[in-house]
Structure 1
Amino acid sequence: MKKTSESDRKIGDTMEKTKVVIVGGTGYLGQHLLQALASNNGGDRYDVAFTHHSSPVPRLLLDAFPHFPAFPVDLKSGLGFHSISQHFGQPDVVVNCAALSVPRTCEQDPVSAMSINVPHSLVNWLSTLASNKTLLIHLSTDQVYEGVKSFYKEEDETVAVNVYGKSKVAAELIIKDKHQNFAILRSSIIFGPQTVSPLPKNLPIQWMDSVLQKGDAVEFFHDEYRCPIYVKDLLAVIMKLINTWVASDDKQMRLVLNAGGPDRLSRVQMAEAVAEVGGHDLSLIKHVSASSVDRGVVSPADISMDITKLIQTLEISPTSFKDGVRLTLQSQSQSHSLP
């Protein structure tokens, strides 16, 4: 990508702001991304808007980001996208964090999973924008892989074993086929601190910490492997992609990257790391096989990923799982001690 200097983006004495739209801004990654774009003088560099499906938008979120307009959007029908063009303008970058992401829910309602997770309406809207120069950063999943080996590479075949994974494979295909500028991030389990407006769902590290703290024995799978990624590493990846795009002259990007952490871990190993950092009794962690539990959905056994391409392309150093757990629990204890 040919680079342009920062001064080339200045109009008079004013820096031209980069317009960023976060689709699914009320979710876990979406809220963290809003925070990343707002911090470090981000308000001087980025114009940010976000979409939401649930209404009303949480008051805590609106109060935290008063200058970021929120747009109701229905991903199934595309209703609401035109309003963004009208009132916010054409975005330079769109980050799609929206998804029906609970595999069991997707299995129970495949029609909704396919209509929400395969972004037909989003891609159609982008095709109506002038010059087709918007970068789409799309969050995919490690569940596009079959799970029959370790350390999948980006060029490996995508053979999803459940509806959620299949919907994400279909999403990748439509983006590659219909949109010329994209970065697809195949994310693993995302973990880290709670969001500005706390989510009702359990966050993985906080949940493990809370159940082990109670002193009750808990079962964890010993034979299902993932590469969990610390949320701030994923934010660093997204911010690097945005800034690379902004600084380029040719505006061409067609990237698929495995976005996992540096460690291949079973659920047992994740729980052991949480127990060690949190000072909990390791004997509370009971090893069970994933095949012994019916979760109402087929789950791939080993979808650990090779992240060499991510590290080399973006020159980042991902946080180890244990360090990410330490940072997550420190953040939690600090928030609890606030008045």
Structure 2
Amino acid sequence: MERKSVLVVGGSGYLGQHLLAALAAGGEVDVAFTHHRDTAPQPLLHALPGLRAFRVDLRSGDGLRAVSDSFGQPHVIVNCAAISVPRQCETDPAAAMATNVPSSLVTWLLSFGNDNTLLIHLSTDQVYEGVKSFYKEDDETLPVNMYGKSKVAAEKFIIEQCSNYAILRSSIIYGPQTISPVAKSLPIQWMDNVLSQGQQVQFFNDEFRCPVYVKDMVDVVLSLTKSWLADGKAVQVLLNVGGPDRVSRLQMAESVADVRGYSHSIIKSVSASSVDRGVASPPDISMDITKLTQMLGIKPISFQDGVRATLAAEAST
């Protein structure tokens, strides 16, 4: 029987590495990933020696041919690659669109001339305007910043072009550090670090999200992958993927303080409007995840439990 294969685009990033570790541990599929930097992260290749790494420039598509030449047509492609820092997207909208709308990837996928590949694409909660609580998948997308706009454009492009896709609108993804540590600051670890210093720190009390624990995010991707590989039935799905709790940055910090035993007196509550971040930020993009739990039977863990698991994992490394 033919071995199934999965390609993780942007596999050296935060979610990408967690996903690669889970896929490699399963051992049931051949796994490859793409990276943008000159060399793939060595600690990752060392820890997961079965992985194939390919350098790909997603804007131009350079490197994708090498993937098909030596890895073949993947049964599943998971696209985690993006410029996901809103301020960066705001300062360079052209780069945001070129990177976040996966036109070269989809063109390459279509070049195989069949419907044998499922594209799982990571989108964001920032596609919503942020003026109410618990957005549903069929609510209008009215992003307030360039990052959200580039992600809406990507969703539309994939829905128009691809016959099999799963688009996952993810909230803030948090959890343990990756095998090869990522450069970007991780939310729980950052909060733990600043609070551990005992100085007063400001946190927004009026911006709400549904942060999702990274292992739940991985489980969603694995669940979609498994069912596609098992039956190959047409998939065209759009899902909100968040945790069950609608929390502000202030409440996130309070959870970290509770788990660690820090005093709440060093947590200062401020409005998001008190700081100019150089980019508009939607106030409330909490998401309704009923469709996710009904369709996949996955119930993401509570934020407090996720914080506990994250800090416990950090302590054991």
What's the TM-score bracket when you normalise by the shorter of the two chains? over 0.9
Task: Report Cα offsets for 1:150-173 as digits up to 9, x if no partner.
Answer: 000000000010000000000000
The 5 Å alignment of 1:106-255 reads 106-249=89-232, 251-255=233-237
Q: Aligned letter for 2:242?
A: G
2:59 to 64, 73, 76: 76
SS for the counterpart of 2:316 is helix
Give the Cα separation in 2 of the matches to 1:55 and 1:199. 16
Q: Retained in 2: the 8 A contact 1:126–1:132? A: no
Question: What does residue 245 of structure 2 align with?
Answer: 263
- Alpha-carbon shift at residue 130 of structure 1 (Å): 3.8
Give the Cα separation in 2 of the matches to 1:200 and 1:242. 28
Query: Following TM superposition, where does structure 1 have runs of at least 4 consecutive aligned residues deviating by more than 4 angstroms?
Result: none
Structure 1: runs of 5 or more not aligned? 1-10
Give the Cα separation in 2 of the matches to 1:114 and 1:262. 30
Quick check: 1:35 aligned with 2:21?
A: yes
The 5 Å alignment of 1:282-321 reads 282-321=264-303
- Alpha-carbon shift at residue 17 of structure 1 (Å): 2.5
- Alpha-carbon shift at residue 228 of structure 1 (Å): 0.1
Give the Cα separation in 1 of the matches to 2:118 and 2:65. 18
Give the Cα separation in 1 of the matches to 2:115 and 2:65. 15
Q: Retained in 1: the 8 A contact 2:43–2:179? A: yes
Give the Cα separation in 2 of the matches to 1:17 and 1:208. 43
Give the Cα separation in 1 of the matches to 2:248 and 2:300. 18
Question: What does residue 50 of structure 2 align with?
Answer: 67
- Alpha-carbon shift at residue 67 of structure 1 (Å): 1.6
- Alpha-carbon shift at residue 111 of structure 1 (Å): 0.6
Q: Retained in 1: the 8 A contact 2:208–2:284? A: yes
Task: Report Cα offsets for 1:285-335 as digits up to 9, x if no partner.
Answer: 101100110000000000000000000000011100000000000000011
Structure 2: runs of 5 or more not aligned? none
Q: Aligned letter for 1:136?
A: L
Q: Retained in 1: the 8 A contact 2:127–2:143? A: yes
Give the Cα separation in 2 of the matches to 1:72 and 1:56. 7
Q: Aligned letter for 1:276?
A: D
* Matched residues, number: 317
Task: Report Cα offsets for 1:42-83 as digits up to 9, x if no partner.
Answer: 22x110000000122221011112221111111110111111
The 5 Å alignment of 1:42-61 reads 42-43=26-27, 45-61=28-44
**Percent of aligned pairs with the same amino acid:** 63
- Alpha-carbon shift at residue 194 of structure 1 (Å): 0.3
Q: Retained in 1: the 8 A contact 2:11–2:20? A: yes
Q: Retained in 2: the 8 A contact 1:208–1:271? A: yes
TM-score, reference length from structure 1: 0.92
The 5 Å alignment of 1:79-118 reads 79-118=62-101
- Alpha-carbon shift at residue 35 of structure 1 (Å): 0.4
- Alpha-carbon shift at residue 242 of structure 1 (Å): 0.2
Give the Cα separation in 1 of the matches to 2:52 and 2:62. 17
Q: Aligned letter for 2:158?
A: I
